[in-house]
Every structure is written in structure tokens, then in C-alpha cells.
């Protein structure tokens, strides 16, 4: 290589490896820009009292390096619900004052044979299905959804609550609430919940506390991460973990290319895979204002771990076995799923110094042999819902204080051990499929070894990337607890597989073991969040930088599993303009 070329290459390398928030153009913080992560706030609930999440958090990635940083945005879902069309089969579904149903034969709807019914509740005066106008037919190929996009910054229905700057190339986001009954004295954070965001640009784990205020004690949708109010309003250095050897006892640094992230249910441990190397980083999050600290890096795993899911803890009757946190990891380059355990080793030294070593260690491995190839896993999800129901039934039917006899505990132990194993789902590209399995039962005290056995593989179209669990609304009966203007409904579990390349989302029904429906999306579907309480899903379109809103209410077959609204105007990437 010539010296000049070498110099140029080195310069590029240095530029890439040293992200500096002070260089380049400030990002448009309030704009959707290559969104890569969505998270719903599980603590702040909707104003209507129906239990839906109040806020949606969107992580942008600045993928094309147009700006010097990226951003995180929060949207008010109550406001969004007001502008997303309501689905209907008949006018009665729209409720009092909700307009009329744009369906054939409905009184008030023009009898125009060329009119295509939208099955949306519409204003009887205008009968227009889309309050912001209809999308050009030519656009529908790339951006499905009849209505033009909702402007999240519109002064009338301003969806945007807050935004803040973060490093470029964020890959995902997760939300966790601080445990209520936390006796940890270090958990001194006044905030109730927190976002964790792996950022490739500066190889860190960003963390953002979520503010609360009067009237919104569980969260008001605003961010708190030491942002400085500058033009990129970025989180300060204290809210980036893994980039300093001085903030952890073992002088660790987050390896490059942090990618997938997940955390234990209590948020005590956050694990981040490192995309280009065979290691996984563990952060210990004690819910203090100091934030999560890099505690351990596990090396020696197969290359390219890209999917991670926290293992839900199994219950034991006696409570003698301390539960150890665990994570399942899947790889692009290996046909296996590994179980990694967190081992905590608290210690007080002779000099009175006390500290805790949290280490991540391999605890087992399960082969993926249900597929012809098996490698190239992209997403993993663990569904513990059925086991939790079984646990509750065991505890209700068995014993508890004051009945704690040995016999009772034995029965309870047996009941807990016989509970359904958590289901495990893996999105695989070799071939394109959803691997379906469950944790493997064994003779241990918990009845499970926390490693999956895959018993089925469901064919998909090419490019599956993520697996998300959620619920859809299905028609209910008179006995149903849930109901709205359109009548009673139930919530049923579904597994959503986002296929980035083929622009589809497959909705798998785990009970019936079939693909329930296929959602056609715009370009580059990536992040997905399921709002079961509203019967909606929010989809981040990576390629064109906007969000789609998908109807997940089976009571309205004409609109079920279709995009009914979109947030932000689709913007083609610069290279394709």
C-alpha cells in the first residue's frame, strides 16, 4: 500500500474509532432518523385508566453519519391514540360521539361505488378516513398505510414530549423500572425507571433516567441524563458507562460494537453483546445515581453474538436456592444458544473494604439442530407468561403462611417444578425461520436447566431479524373482563418476527402453532413495540426513518395486521435519493 493511501486509511480508521460529540453537525433531536430501538414505559400509564403505557421511547441511530450524534425521543401515546384512526365494522363500534364507520352501507357514508371503505371511524361531516389526507397511491408501495403521516411536532396534537442527544449508532433500547421494595441502600436514585442504550459510536452503554413530576409520579416522559442544553443536548459523560477504566474495579472497557442488550426484570444486571467479537459485557446496575457499571466481560464465546435475552428466574418453594441471573445468547456464526450466568461474589476484605465481584460465566449450551443449517440467529425471546400463571395457580392451591408444613412445601415444590417451561423463540436466517422451543425440563430443584430445546421451526420469508412478544385483541364473550365501545375482547399471546429484508412482520400464534397473519410494512422494518392494551403496535422503519402504527385488534378483520397510521414523514436515505 502506498504511504498516502495508508495515511488516508489510518485517518479514516481513527475518525471512526474516536467519536467526538463536539465534531460535525448537531442532529435534529426531534426528528426520527434511522430508528433502531423502541421501548414502552411500563410504569407511566395512560390517562384513560385502561392500563396502556403512556410513553413510547424511540432511539435514533444517525446511521449515515450525517450528524455528529443521535437522539432519543419520547412520544405521548395518549395523544397519539387521539389521531390514529379508530377501527370499526359498524358505527356502533365508534361509540358515542366517535363518528360513523366508513364501511359499505353505513348511513352517512356516500354511496359511491368508487369509494374504498377504510373501516375507520370518520367524522360524519367530512367522511374523510384520514384527518391529514390520504397518501398518494404511488407511495403505498414503499409506505403502506392509507393515511398521510402524522406530524409528531404538530402544534395541535404535539406527540413529542422530550428528546435528548446520545452518541451515534445506537442499536437498541430497553426500559426497566426500579424495583419497589428494593432494600439496597445504594439504590438512591430518585427516578423510578431508566433506559439503557448500547451505542456503537463510542462503545458505551448510555443510561437515561426518566423524570417524574406532579401529577405524573410514575414518569412524565422527560429525560434526565445530565443533558447540557447545547444544540445537541446530549447526555453527559456520567450517563455513559463502559468507556472509563476508572469506574469499575477491574479496569474494564466496553469492547467495540456493542449491539444487543437485555436486562434482568429488576434491572439489576444489564448484558450487552459485542457484535464483532465473541464476548458479552455485564453491567451491574444498583439503581444509584451513579448508573450501571461495567462489571465483567466474558470472552471466548463464538463470534458475533447478536441476540440476548434475560432468563426469567424459576421459583422454588423453600427459597433456599439463591436465584442467579442468567442470559441466553444466540449467534450469527454458531448454531447454538448459550446460557450465561451471573455469579455474584460479595466480599469484605480484612481492611474493612467491601466490594462485590459480579462475573458472567458460561453455564451451558444448547445446539440449534431443528434447522438444516442452524447458525445465523438474529433475535431471541423468552416467554414466561404461562409459567407465571402456573406458579400463581400452585401458590393459590397449595400452601403458604400459616400453612408451611413440610408436606405442604413438598407439594408446592412438586407443583412448581411441574409448571410449564418458558417458551423460547429464535429468529434464524439459515433458513429463514422462527425456531420454537422451551426451556428443558430436568430433575433439578427448579425443574428446569434454563437451556432451550427446539421442537419446531416455522418457515418465514427472508431476512428475519427480531423476535418480540406481545398480545393482540381477539373477540371476547359476555364473560370477558375487557371491553370498549366495540364490545368485549380478550388478549392473546403472539410472537412477532420482524423480517427486515422482506418487509414483513410475521405474527405467530403459539397456542395454535400457526402463523396468524403477515403484516406488510414499509422499507426496513426493525424495532417493534407492542401496545397490547391499545391493540396497536409501533414499528420503526429504519430505512425511511418513520414509525408505523399497526392495528392488532382482530375484532376488525379488515384492518387487523395492517398499518393504520404513521408518525413522521418517510425520508429515503441519502444514498437512494
Partner 1 sequence: MKIFSRLLLPAFDPLKLAVLGICAWAALLGSCSQTPITVQLHAMQSSGRVSFVCHGADNSPSGHKLDECPDYELATRHTLALVTQTATNEVAVVDLYAQSIVDFDKTTPGYSFLRVGARPGAIVTTPGGAATFVAVSGLQKDGIFALPTTCVVPPLAGEVARDLTTWSACHLSSAPGDMSVVLDANDAQGHPILPGQEGSAPRVSCPNALPLKPTSPKLVDACPADLTQERGPFGRRKLLVALPDEHKLVLLDAQHLLDQQPGEFPECEPEATFALGEDAPTIPLAPVLPMDLTPAAGADTNTCIKPSYPARDTRVPPTPAGMAAMDDRVYVADSSRPVVHVLDVTDPCASKELPPLLPYSYSAPDRVVTTSRLAVSPLSPPSKKWPNGQQFVYAIDQDDQPTASVMVFDIIRMAEHPKDANYRTPLVFDGTARQPYMPPDRLRFNAPVRDVSFVMRDFPKPDPVTGAGQFGLSCEPDPNASGPATGYRPNGDFTDGARPVNLRGVFGFAMLTNGQVAVIDVEDFDAPCRRPATANMSTAFEDLHGCGGDEISTPFKTAQGALTVTGESSCHVVEPHRPRSASLSISSSSNGLRAPTLRSFPQFSNVNPAGVISVDQQPRMLATDFANPGNTSATLPAEVNISTQLYAHCTIEQLNAKQPPCDGNATPLVIDPGETGVQNSLTLPLVEPRSYAQDESPTLSFEGRVFPDRSSGFLSVEDGVTEAVLRDPDANFCAAGVEDSDTIRARGEGLGIPSSNLDAWAKEHADYVQITGDYPAPDDQYWRQGRGNGCAALIDPSKPDVDDRDACVRKFGNIDTPGVLKESRDLSILAASGGELSVTPRHCQGETDCAGTLSQLSCCFPAGTAYTVRASNQWMLAGTGALHDLAIGPGGRCTHTASCDRRKQYFNSRAFEVCDPSRPPDTHKETYLENGVEKEVDVTDFTCAATEPQVGCVGDQIPVTPGGPASACIFENLTSRFVVYRGVKPSLRGMTFSWQTTGGFVPQTMSLLSQSSSVNPQSLGYLSQLGYLAVVDASTLGLVLFDLNSLGVVLPSPYF
Compare residues 363 and 381 and give the one whose CB is closer to partner 1. 363
Compare residues 218 and 453 and give the one whose CB is closer to partner 1. 453
C-alpha atoms less than 13 angstroms from C-alpha of 396 in its C-beta half-sphere: 6
Using CB under 8 A as the binding criterion, the count of chain residues that bind partner 1 stands at 56
Instruction: With contacts defined by CB under 8 A, name the span among 113-121, 127-135, 365-373, 405-413 that binds partner 1.
Output: 365-373
Compare residues 146 and 555 and give the one whose CB is closer to partner 1. 555
Compare residues 385 and 430 and give the one whose CB is closer to partner 1. 430
Q: Does 347 bind partner 1 (CB under 8 A)?
A: yes
Q: Is the Cβ–Cβ distance between 332 and 280 less than 8 Å?
A: no
Compare residues 515 and 569 and give the one whose CB is closer to partner 1. 515
**Single residue of 245, 343, 389, 403 touching partner 1 by CB under 8 A:** 343
Instruction: With contacts defined by CB under 8 A, name the span among 149-157, 205-213, 367-375, 385-393 that binds partner 1.
Output: 367-375
| Shortest distance in whole angstroms from residue 327 CB to partner 1 | 13
Name which of residues 448 to 487 contact partner 1 (CB under 8 A): 449-450, 453-457, 459, 461
User: Shortest CA distance to 285 belongs to which of 200, 382, 380, 356?
Assistant: 356
| Residues 6 or more apart in contact with residue 93 via CB below 8 angstroms | 86, 87, 101, 121, 485, 486, 487, 555, 556
Strand extents, DSSP E, 275-334: 279-284, 293-298, 305-310, 326-331
443 in helix, strand or coil?
coil
Q: Does 324 bind partner 1 (CB under 8 A)?
A: yes
Q: Does 253 bind partner 1 (CB under 8 A)?
A: no
CA distance 509 to 238: 43
Strand extents, DSSP E, 411-463: 423-429, 432-441, 448-459
Q: Does 26 bind partner 1 (CB under 8 A)?
A: no
Compare residues 445 and 569 and give the one whose CB is closer to partner 1. 445
CA distance 159 to 546: 14
Q: Is the Cβ–Cβ distance between 320 and 275 less than 8 Å?
A: no
**Single residue of 339, 549, 552, 563 touching partner 1 by CB under 8 A:** 339
Compare residues 23 and 456 and give the one whose CB is closer to partner 1. 456
| Shortest distance in whole angstroms from residue 304 CB to partner 1 | 19
Lay out the sheet containing 279-284: strands in order across: 258-263, 269-274, 279-284, 293-298
| Residues 6 or more apart in contact with residue 125 via CB below 8 angstroms | none
CA distance 527 to 538: 8
DSSP H helices in 228-334:
none
| Shortest distance in whole angstroms from residue 433 CB to partner 1 | 6
| Shortest distance in whole angstroms from residue 515 CB to partner 1 | 7
356 in helix, strand or coil?
strand
C-alpha atoms less than 13 angstroms from C-alpha of 465 in its C-beta half-sphere: 21
Compare residues 400 and 459 and give the one whose CB is closer to partner 1. 459
Compare residues 231 and 456 and give the one whose CB is closer to partner 1. 456
| Shortest distance in whole angstroms from residue 526 CB to partner 1 | 21
**Single residue of 40, 83, 295, 370 touching partner 1 by CB under 8 A:** 370
Q: Does 157 bind partner 1 (CB under 8 A)?
A: no
| Shortest distance in whole angstroms from residue 568 CB to partner 1 | 29
| Residues 6 or more apart in contact with residue 269 via CB below 8 angstroms | 263, 282, 283, 284, 285, 295, 310, 325, 342, 358
Q: Which three cell numbers stand for residue 273?
A: 453483546
Task: Give just the sign of the alpha carbon dihedral 34, 38, 44, 46.
Answer: positive
Compare residues 43 and 301 and give the one whose CB is closer to partner 1. 301
CA distance 238 to 57: 21
Compare residues 215 and 322 and give the one whose CB is closer to partner 1. 322
Compare residues 218 and 461 and give the one whose CB is closer to partner 1. 461
Q: Does 385 bind partner 1 (CB under 8 A)?
A: no
Name which of residues 408 to 447 contact partner 1 (CB under 8 A): 418, 430-433, 438, 440-445
DSSP readout, 183-251?
Answer: --TT---S-SEEEEEEETTTTEEEEEEE--BTTBTT--S-EES----STT-B--GGGEESS-GGGSTT-
Q: How far is CA 254 from the centre of its chain?
A: 22
Q: Does 572 bind partner 1 (CB under 8 A)?
A: no
| Shortest distance in whole angstroms from residue 175 CB to partner 1 | 29
Q: Does 158 bind partner 1 (CB under 8 A)?
A: no
**Per-residue x/- marks for partner 1, 485-524, CB under 8 A?**
---------------------------xxxx-xx------
CA distance 269 to 285: 6
Q: Does 124 bind partner 1 (CB under 8 A)?
A: no
Q: Which three cell numbers stand for residue 134?
A: 390520504
Q: Which three cell numbers stand for residue 497?
A: 418476527
Q: Is the Cβ–Cβ distance between 188 and 217 less than 8 Å?
A: no
**Single residue of 357, 395, 493, 571 touching partner 1 by CB under 8 A:** 357
| Shortest distance in whole angstroms from residue 518 CB to partner 1 | 7
Could you report how far apart the first and last alpha carbons of the chain are, in Å?
34
| Shortest distance in whole angstroms from residue 199 CB to partner 1 | 28
**Single residue of 111, 320, 345, 407 touching partner 1 by CB under 8 A:** 345
Compare residues 95 and 364 and give the one whose CB is closer to partner 1. 364
Q: Does 393 bind partner 1 (CB under 8 A)?
A: no
How would you classify residue 300: left for phi > 0, otherwise alpha for psi between -120 and 50, otherwise beta?
Answer: left
Q: Does 361 bind partner 1 (CB under 8 A)?
A: yes
Q: Which residues bind partner 1 (CB under 8 A)?
A: 249-250, 321, 324, 339, 341, 343, 345, 347, 349-351, 353, 355, 357, 359, 361-364, 369-374, 418, 430-433, 438, 440-445, 449-450, 453-457, 459, 461, 512-515, 517-518, 554, 557, 560
Amino acid at each position: 500500500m502506498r504511504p498516502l493511501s495508508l495515511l488516508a486509511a489510518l485517518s479514516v480508521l481513527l475518525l471512526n474509532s474516536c467519536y467526538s460529540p463536539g465534531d460535525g453537525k448537531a442532529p435534529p433531536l426531534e426528528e426520527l432518523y434511522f430508528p433502531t430501538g423502541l421501548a414502552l414505559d411500563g410504569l407511566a400509564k395512560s390517562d384513560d385508566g385502561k392500563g396502556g403505557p403512556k410513553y413510547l421511547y424511540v432511539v435514533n441511530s444517525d446511521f449515515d453519519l450525517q450528524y455528529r450524534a443521535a437522539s432519543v425521543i419520547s412520544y405521548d401515546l395518549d395523544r397519539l391514540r387521539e389521531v390514529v384512526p379508530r377501527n370499526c365494522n359498524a358505527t356502533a363500534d365508534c361509540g358515542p360521539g366517535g363518528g360513523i364507520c366508513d364501511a359499505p352501507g353505513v348511513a352517512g357514508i356516500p354511496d359511491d361505488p368508487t369509494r374504498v371503505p377504510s373501516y375507520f371511524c370518520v367524522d360524519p361531516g367530512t367522511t374523510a378516513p384520514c384527518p391529514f389526507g390520504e397518501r398518494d397511491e404511488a407511495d403505498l408501495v414503499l409506505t403502506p398505510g392509507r393515511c398521510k403521516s402524522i406530524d409528531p411536532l404538530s402544534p395541535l396534537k404535539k406527540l413529542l414530549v422530550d428528546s435528548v442527544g446520545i452518541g451515534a449508532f445506537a442499536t437498541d433500547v430497553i426500559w426497566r423500572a426500579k424495583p419497589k421494595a428494593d432494600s439496597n441502600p445504594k439504590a438512591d436514585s430518585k427516578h423510578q425507571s431508566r433506559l439503557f442504550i448500547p451505542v456503537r459510536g463510542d462503545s458505551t452503554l448510555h443510561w437515561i433516567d426518566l423524570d417524574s413530576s406532579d401529577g405524573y409520579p410514575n414518569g412524565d416522559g422527560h429525560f434526565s441524563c445530565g443533558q447540557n442544553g447545547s444544540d445537541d443536548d446530549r447526555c453527559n459523560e456520567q450517563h455513559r458507562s463502559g468507556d472509563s477504566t476508572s469506574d469499575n474495579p477491574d479496569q474494564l472497557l466496553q469492547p467495540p460494537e456493542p449491539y444487543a442488550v437485555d436486562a434482568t426484570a429488576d434491572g439489576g444486571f444489564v448484558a450487552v453483546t459485542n457484535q464483532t467479537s465473541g464476548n458479552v459485557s455485564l453491567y451491574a446496575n444498583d439503581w444509584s445515581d451513579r448508573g450501571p457499571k461495567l462489571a465483567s466481560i466474558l470472552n471466548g464465546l463464538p463470534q458475533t453474538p447478536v441476540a440476548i435475552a434475560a432468563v426469567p428466574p424459576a421459583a422454588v418453594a423453600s427459597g433456599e436456592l439463591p436465584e442467579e441471573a442468567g442470559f441466553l445468547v444466540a449467534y450469527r456464526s454458531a448454531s447454538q444458544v448459550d446460557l450465561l450466568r451471573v455469579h455474584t461474589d460479595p466480599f469484605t476484605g480484612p481492611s474493612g473494604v467491601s466490594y462485590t465481584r459480579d462475573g458472567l460465566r458460561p453455564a451451558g449450551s444448547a445446539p440449534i439442530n431443528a434447522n438444516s443449517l442452524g447458525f445465523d440467529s438474529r433475535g431471541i425471546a423468552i416467554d414466561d407468561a404461562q409459567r407465571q400463571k402456573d406458579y400463581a395457580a400452585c401458590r393459590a392451591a397449595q400452601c403458604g403462611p400459616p400453612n408451611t408444613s413440610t408436606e405442604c412445601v413438598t407439594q408446592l415444590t412438586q407443583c412448581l417444578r411441574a409448571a410449564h417451561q418458558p417458551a423460547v423463540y429464535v429468529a434464524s436466517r439459515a433458513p429463514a425461520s422462527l425456531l420454537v422451543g422451551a426451556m428443558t425440563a430436568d430433575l433439578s430443584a427448579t425443574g428446569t436447566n434454563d437451556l432451550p430445546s427446539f421442537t419446531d421451526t416455522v418457515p418465514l420469508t427472508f431476512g428475519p431479524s427480531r423476535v418480540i412478544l406481545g398480545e393482540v385483541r381477539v373477540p371476547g364473550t359476555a364473560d370477558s373482563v375487557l371491553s370498549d365501545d366495540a364490545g368485549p375482547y380478550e388478549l392473546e399471546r403472539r410472537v412477532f418476527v420482524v423480517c427486515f429484508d422482506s418487509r414483513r412482520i410475521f405474527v405467530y400464534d403459539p397456542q395454535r402453532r400457526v402463523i396468524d397473519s403477515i403484516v406488510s410494512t414499509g422499507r426496513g422494518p426493525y424495532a417493534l413495540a407492542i401496545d397490547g392494551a391499545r391493540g396497536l403496535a409501533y414499528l420503526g422503519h429504519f430505512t425511511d426513518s418513520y414509525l408505523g402504527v399497526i392495528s392488532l385488534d382482530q375484532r376488525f378483520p379488515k384492518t387487523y395486521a395492517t398499518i393504520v397510521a404513521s408518525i413522521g414523514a418517510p425520508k429515503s436515505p441519502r444514498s437512494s435519493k
